[in-house]
């Protein structure tokens, strides 16, 4: 009997599931805390807690992770040298990389050389910074039409430094030179981190005697081989929400549904319509940077199980920051429960997000650098056990700087502990995982400042979280709707109630607690599938191999010149027609339209099949679909531009009772193709 192993390393939890290949049944699952900043420890523990008999028979392992996303958001990527070739306009605030240079070169929209490449400038820059960076990124103007200069720069740098080099055209053939440069830069930042992470997974799997094909989930819900993931780690950003969406479809067997996934840090909303995951029209935006990575369209808000609940002026607020729940801290830190009970409350006048009756601070273990005098003073006072604001006051013999506390949290030198929705659910008995006594103590302290009973406060928190979930869902389904209108829809005023005509699938550890409250706010079928708490790990596994390749064929009109052209030809013909084929391997030119299209189709098919074979699929396991998108100026005339689109979909290796997954993935591939047809040409 063969099995498949799915792993999702999220911000709070790492989940793992084992699925029996013969019938698609989930035979084992586990949930452990994610280890930070290196998630490999949590992954090892999650596998350790699974039945070893099943683990030994695993033939496929697929992983989704927040590692790439968190690295970009926290700006903890490795230093990169960036070479911009061509007529780039750098924003006033400068390029995000510390080391970058703009050099002459690049191509035109037809793939003609716009200017000679400044090879000497490439050599000088590479030699100057090679000891300060871990990788290089190069982006050349119109490299999607001719990659010659990017490839030349890559060759020079590899020869001089031996360091990895990322080319913009290798990541995207879409329009937008500057966005390609950002994507290449971010991808290069992630290479050393991803390499270490993937190698650690490979070593752990190998050490268990498992001979399995290793895959990683992308942010569009498809999977890539680990070798591909090593080259393109940027494509794993937001793979968590993608895993949730694919997992929701698998667990419910719905081909149309909305998905609401409540994690520790955030709530994510996404949609599958007629088996087609909705993809964003634009490239994924992460850390404020627009990339050229295609991802699912999603709505994300800073409401999660670990969101900080804090009070001020007899009102409570949810987030946006994340803290360690009190119930969990009581388990992790010996003596914390007693300290929480004995802690003196701060003055009402001082209450703010960082000054709360149930908030504590503890060091993370990160090495402090470039601290101000005030930050250093506060940091030195936080030692050993978690300390409260009033305890800091006693140690410093003066009021601690709230701004310094805030800065130390942002620099990840200290971590906050506080009351959370998870604590509220522990108080109400809706969710029990850690020490409920600590949650009760925290609720009593907060409720006293709110002039409420602890149960009343916790029920209000529960309703607020459900309201936020419903609000995110409505905002996603009716894009662009003002927040005030959403509030009216959910308030139930004027005998109205928002109705959703498709099932809403809830995923995440404690989501069952919010189901009833959400049903009061919206009129829909809310579904809580079995294994909802590990839906991300299921999605990481059942995402299938998909590869889409697009090649542009462009008609070019060039004036006839040359000594061999006769006067008669000049009289009868004003221009010479030729066809350019723009593929990632370089630009090709043909005199006949059909010849150009045939070359583009054959090339795209070969690229798709090579990719699918590297992901572990044989030729017989891959379905190929070829379509063409044509742009014509006049009827009965050969197109000015033709986009040849080849999509390969790997057939499912896991059998399910209803043949949903293969069909679902096939439709997804078609959706990806259709989405690609919206944007067409440009630099």
**Residue-level pLDDT at 185:** 94
* Higher pLDDT, residue 220 or 652: 220
Beta strands 213-217 and 58-65, pairing class = parallel
pLDDT at 75 over 90: no
**Residue-level pLDDT at 251:** 92
**Residue-level pLDDT at 677:** 38
392 contacts: CB under 8 Å, gap ≥ 6: 361, 378, 381, 382, 400
Q: 5, 56, 50, 69: which is closest to 542 by C-alpha?
A: 5
pLDDT, mean over the chain: 85
Give me the domains of the chain, ranges plus CATH numbers: 81-191 (3.40.50), 322-458 (no CATH), 546-676 (no CATH)
pLDDT at 293 over 90: no
CB of 245 within 8 A of CB of 270? yes
Confidence band of 556 (pLDDT split at 50, 70, 90): confident
pLDDT at 673 over 80: no
pLDDT at 444 over 70: yes
pLDDT digits (tens, 9 = 90+) for 6-44: 999 987 889 999 999 888 899 999 999 888 778 899 999
CB of 213 within 8 A of CB of 264? no
* Higher pLDDT, residue 57 or 172: 57
* Higher pLDDT, residue 305 or 277: 305
**Residue-level pLDDT at 570:** 40
CB of 40 within 8 A of CB of 200? yes
Phi, psi of 135 (to 5 degrees): -165, 170
**Residue-level pLDDT at 576:** 62
Residue corresponding to tokens 């889409």: 548
Ranges of H-type helices in 497-576:
512-521, 535-542, 567-572
pLDDT digits (tens, 9 = 90+) for 105-122: 999 888 889 999 999 999
CB of 291 within 8 A of CB of 171? no
- What mean pLDDT do residues 215-237 have? 84
Confidence band of 571 (pLDDT split at 50, 70, 90): very low
**Residue-level pLDDT at 661:** 36
**Residue-level pLDDT at 123:** 96
Confidence band of 161 (pLDDT split at 50, 70, 90): very high
Confidence band of 241 (pLDDT split at 50, 70, 90): confident
**Residue-level pLDDT at 402:** 92
pTM (two decimals): 0.76
DSSP assignment of 178-243 equals: HHHHHHHHHHHHHHHHHHHHHHHHHHHHHHTT---EEEEE-TTS-EEEHHHHHH-GGGGTTHHHHH
Confidence band of 651 (pLDDT split at 50, 70, 90): low
Can you tell me whether residue 90 is helix, strand or coil?
Answer: coil
CA distances from 375 to 5, 347, 354, 379, 457 (A): 45, 23, 15, 6, 34
637 contacts: CB under 8 Å, gap ≥ 6: none
DSSP assignment of 545-561 equals: BEEEEEEEEEEEEEE--
**Residue-level pLDDT at 207:** 92
pLDDT at 260 over 90: yes
* Higher pLDDT, residue 487 or 122: 122
* Higher pLDDT, residue 480 or 494: 480
Pairwise CA distance, residues 582 & 640, whole Å: 14
Confidence band of 448 (pLDDT split at 50, 70, 90): very high
Beta bridge partners of 553: 581, 642
pLDDT at 355 over 60: yes
**Residue-level pLDDT at 427:** 96
- What mean pLDDT do residues 243-267 have? 88
Pairwise CA distance, residues 330 & 333, whole Å: 6
* Higher pLDDT, residue 546 or 296: 296
357, exposed or middle or buried, with CB in 10 Å at 0-12, 13-18, 19+? buried
**Residue-level pLDDT at 573:** 47
The first and second tokens of residue 532, run together, are 């909802």
Confidence band of 401 (pLDDT split at 50, 70, 90): very high
**Residue-level pLDDT at 275:** 67
37, exposed or middle or buried, with CB in 10 Å at 0-12, 13-18, 19+? middle
- What mean pLDDT do residues 118-142 have? 95
pLDDT at 425 over 90: yes
Q: 471, 487, 424: which is closest to 452 by C-alpha?
A: 424
Q: How many CA atoms lie within 13 A of 53 on its CB side?
A: 4
**Residue-level pLDDT at 320:** 83
Confidence band of 529 (pLDDT split at 50, 70, 90): very high
Instruction: Summarize the chain as % helix, strand, coil (round to 5).
Output: 40, 25, 35
pLDDT digits (tens, 9 = 90+) for 84-107: 999 888 887 778 888 999 999 999
pLDDT at 218 over 90: no
pLDDT digits (tens, 9 = 90+) for 271-290: 987 766 788 877 787 777 78
By residue count, the chain amounts to 683
């Amino acid at each position: 009997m063969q099995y498949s192993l799915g792993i999702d390393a999220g911000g709070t939890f790492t989940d793992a599931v084992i699925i029996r290949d013969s019938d698609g049944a989930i035979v084992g699952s586990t949930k452990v805390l994610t280890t930070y900043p290196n998630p490999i420890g949590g992954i090892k523990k999650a596998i350790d807690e699974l039945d070893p008999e099943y683990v030994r028979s695993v033939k496929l392992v697929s992983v989704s992770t927040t590692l790439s996303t968190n690295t970009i958001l926290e700006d903890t990527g490795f230093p990169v040298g960036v070479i911009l070739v061509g007529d780039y306009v750098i924003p006033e605030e400068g390029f995000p990389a510390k080391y970058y240079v703009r050099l002459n070169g690049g191509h035109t929209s037809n793939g003609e050389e716009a200017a000679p490449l400044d090879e000497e400038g490439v050599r000088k820059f590479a030699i100057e910074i090679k000891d300060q960076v871990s990788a290089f990124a190069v982006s050349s103007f119109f490299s999607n039409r001719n990659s010659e200069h990017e490839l030349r720069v890559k060759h020079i740098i590899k020869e001089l430094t031996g360091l990895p080099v990322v080319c913009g055209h290798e990541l995207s053939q879409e329009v937008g030179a500057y966005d390609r440069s950002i994507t290449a830069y971010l991808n290069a930042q992630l290479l050393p981190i991803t390499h270490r992470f993937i190698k650690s997974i490979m070593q752990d799997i190998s050490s268990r005697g498992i001979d399995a094909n290793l895959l990683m989930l992308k942010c569009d819900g498809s999977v890539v081989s680990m070798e591909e993931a090593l080259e393109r780690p940027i494509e794993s950003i937001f793979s968590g929400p993608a895993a949730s969406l694919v997992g929701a479809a698998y667990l419910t067997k719905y081909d149309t549904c909305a998905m609401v996934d409540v994690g520790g840090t955030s709530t994510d909303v996404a949609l599958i319509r007629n088996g087609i995951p909705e993809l964003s029209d634009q490239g994924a935006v992460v850390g404020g940077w627009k990339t050229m990575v295609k991802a699912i369209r999603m709505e994300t808000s800073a409401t999660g199980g670990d969101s900080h609940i804090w009070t001020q002026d007899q009102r409570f607020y949810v987030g946006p920051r994340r803290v360690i729940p009190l119930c969990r801290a009581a388990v992790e830190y010996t003596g914390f429960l007693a300290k929480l009970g004995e802690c003196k409350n701060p003055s009402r006048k001082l209450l703010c997000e960082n000054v709360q009756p149930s908030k504590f601070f503890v060091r993370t273990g990160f090495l402090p650098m470039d601290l101000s005098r005030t930050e250093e003073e506060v940091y030195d006072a936080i030692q050993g056990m978690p300390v409260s604001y009033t305890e800091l006051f006693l140690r410093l013999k003066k009021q601690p700087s709230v701004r310094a506390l805030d800065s130390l949290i942002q620099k990840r030198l200290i971590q906050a502990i506080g009351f959370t929705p998870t604590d509220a659910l522990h108080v109400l008995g809706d969710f029990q995982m850690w020490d409920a006594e600590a949650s009760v103590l925290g609720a009593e302290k907060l409720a006293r400042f709110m002039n409420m009973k602890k149960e009343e406060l916790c029920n209000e928190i529960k309703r607020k979280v459900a309201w936020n979930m419903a609000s995110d869902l409505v905002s996603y389904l009716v894009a662009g709707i003002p927040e005030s209108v959403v509030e009216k829809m959910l308030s139930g005023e004027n005998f109205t109630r928002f109705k959703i005509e498709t099932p809403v699938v809830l995923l995440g550890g404690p989501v069952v607690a919010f189901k009833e409250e959400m049903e009061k706010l919206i009129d829909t079928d809310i579904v809580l599938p079995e294994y909802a708490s590990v839906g991300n790990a299921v999605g990481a596994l059942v995402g299938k191999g998909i590869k889409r390749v697009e090649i542009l064929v462009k008609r070019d009109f060039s004036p006839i010149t040359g000594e061999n052209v006769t006067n008669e030809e000049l009289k009868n013909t004003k221009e010479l027609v030729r066809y350019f084929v723009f593929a990632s391997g370089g630009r090709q030119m043909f005199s006949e339209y059909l010849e150009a299209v045939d070359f583009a189709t054959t090339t795209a098919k070969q690229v798709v099949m090579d990719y699918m074979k590297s992901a572990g699929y044989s030729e017989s396991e891959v379905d190929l679909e070829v379509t063409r998108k044509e742009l014509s100026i006049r009827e009965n005339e050969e197109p000015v531009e033709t986009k040849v689109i080849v999509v390969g979909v790997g057939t499912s290796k896991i059998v399910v009772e209803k043949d949903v997954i293969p069909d679902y993935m096939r439709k997804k591939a078609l959706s990806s193709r259709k989405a690609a047809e919206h944007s067409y040409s440009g630099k």
